[in-house]
Amino acid sequence: MAKKVGFLQGNEAAAHGALYAGCRFFAGYPITPSTEVAEVMSVELPKIGGKFIQMEDEIGAMSAIIGASLAGVKSLTSTSGPGLSLKQELIGYACITEVPCVIFNVMRGGPSTGMPTGPSQSDIMCAKWGTHGDHAAITLVPASVQEIFEETVRAFNLAEKYRMPVLVMPDEIVGHMRERIEFPDQGELEVIDRTPPSVPPEQYMPYDTSFGDVPPLAAFGSDYRFHVTGLNKMQDGFPTTKASVVQAEEERQIRKVEANKADIMKWEEYLVDDADVVIVAFGSTSRSARFAVNEARKEGIKAGLFRLITFWPFPEERLLEISRRVKAFVTPEMSLGMCNGVVRGCIEGNAPVHGIYRVDGEPVNPGEILGKIKEVN
């Protein structure tokens, strides 16, 4: 049987991916360039018994999806730019309380209001370091409409599997482009649900590490009653200031991601095996980079593309391995060197890293990348 196909905008594909993954609650506030996610969810969720709420602001939206998730419902919010900044305190709360949820952030110019209708890739540091304190981060950076659908499904899977907020962060170009998409049949893509308690309510503790680094999660409103706090807590969820408990608890929350990076990280290597110059890119910039690599190959230059699909955790071990045999890296990006700095930090000076930076609301074009490849080869 032929697959169902559509001609969708990236933001629309995110909404359909969330529904495929089992999302049944959305809370958000309209903001360019992510509003289409909310528009689709407002139409589709009521058809299947889900709930859509337009909140008074982005802080309220993040609070609402945390509450809905604690009640056992897969939950999504979408935002851009200043909205992500407003969410940061509550993202930190979702981290420390280990509440699975997905934040879809379409990157636009900044800081502040910046360039609301222009593309950017300058939220990637905010995704990891935006909220205070030590915490793990998972951030996905899709580059096509099809990939937005599939990575949104994967974001829900990772959120449920590791009990934490997960960010999906396309840039404005990917969020607003329209492409053909094939809708996977139900069951074709894996859909993961959180692990429920295996003990009776009277024995349940929400942060019981005897079950591993990701404790089972009960639903509020069920027979399981438990305490949730933004303070450092004990296994029963109640606050503590005991140094050894706090240390172990925070290390566990980092470890549940660091120890499972092989399961979480995802990237694509294109003509990297024999490359002298490797482009490290993500989102719409990686599409320009692929074209530039092909043009360089036509001219006899051995160029390759390392396309990030997961930005956090960053695949530093693989890039370190590649750095031992290449002449140079090039990082084209719509920011002033954020990706470049991460690449530099993980390759230990084995190869030079050359940047191409644009924050003027225009994409990095293939010609710019090809010129830099020729310059550094």
Tokens of residue 200, six digits: 């009776």
DSSP state of 195: P
pLDDT, the chain, mean? 97
pLDDT in tens, 134-173: 999 999 999 999 999 999 999 999 999 999 999 999 999 9
Distance, CA of 168 to CA of 236 (rounded, Å): 31
Rounded distance, CA 222 to CA 70, Å? Answer: 11
Domain-located, residue 189: no
- What one-character-per-residue DSSP string does 1-12 give? -PPPEEEEEHHH
Q: What is the mean pLDDT of residues 9-36?
A: 98
Q: Has residue 188 been placed in a domain?
A: no
What is the reported pLDDT for 21?
98
Looking at the fold, whether 222 and 124 belong to one and the same domain comes out as no
- 290 and 243 fall within a common domain: no
N- to C-terminal Cα separation, the chain = 48
Q: Are 289 and 356 found together in one domain?
A: yes
> In this model, does residue 133 exceed pLDDT 90?
yes
Which pair of structure tokens corresponds to residue 211?
A: 């079950």
Mean pLDDT of 190-212: 96
373: burial class by Cβ within 10 Å (0-12, 13-18, 19+)? buried
Q: Is the same domain home to 207 and 160?
A: no
Please choose, from the candidates 320, 310, 317, the residue with its C-alpha nearest in 3D space to the C-alpha of residue 267. 310
CA gap 57, 320 in Å, rounded: 42
Based on the fold, state whether residues 318 and 369 are members of the same structural domain. yes
Per-residue pLDDT, averaged over 100-113, amounts to 96
pLDDT at 3: 84
What's the predicted TM-score (pTM) here?
0.97
CATH number at residue 286: 3.40.50.920
Is 156 within a domain? Answer: yes
Backbone phi, then psi, for 358, in 5-degree steps?
-135, 130
My answer on whether 346 and 222 are in the same domain is: no
Q: What value does the mean pLDDT take over residues 101-127?
A: 96
CA distance 158 to 260: 11
Rounded CA separation 90/270 (Å):
38
Quick check: 1 pLDDT over 90? Answer: no
Q: Which residue from 11, 25, 264 is spatially nearest to 137, judged by alpha carbons?
A: 264
With vertex at residue 287, the alpha carbon angle to CA 311 and CA 325, rounded to the nearest 5 degrees, is: 65
- The amino acid sitting at 139 is T
What's the rounded mean pLDDT across residues 202-212? 95
Domain count, the chain: 3
- Work out the average pLDDT over 346-363: 96
d(CA 54, CA 76): 12
Res 194: pLDDT: 96
54 beta partners: 28
Rounded mean pLDDT, 68-76: 98
Residue 25 shares a structural domain with residue 166: yes
Same domain, 24 and 152: yes
Contact between residue 172 and residue 156 where contact means Cβ atoms under 8 Å apart? no
Residues 38 and 144 in one domain: yes
Average of per-residue pLDDT across 196-205: 96
The model's confidence at residue 226, banded by pLDDT at 50, 70 and 90, is very high
- Give the burial class of 293: count Cβ atoms within 10 A of its Cβ; 0-12 exposed, 13-18 middle, 19 or more buried: buried
Check whether residue 299 and residue 339 sit in a common domain.
yes
CATH of the domain at 106: 3.40.50.970
Residues 216 and 132 in one domain: no
The mean per-residue pLDDT over the stretch 279-283 comes to 98
Residue by residue, DSSP assigns 280-297 as: EE-HHHHHHHHHHHHHHH
* Average of per-residue pLDDT across 317-324: 98
pLDDT at 38 over 80: yes
313: its two tokens: 């955790």
Residue 196 lies in a domain: no
Per the structure, the complete domain to which residue 363 belongs is given by 268-376
125 shares its domain with 154:
yes
* Stretch 262-275: mean pLDDT: 98
pLDDT per position as a tens digit, 228-261:
999 999 999 999 999 999 999 999 999 999 999 9
Q: Which pLDDT does position 2 carry in this prediction?
A: 76
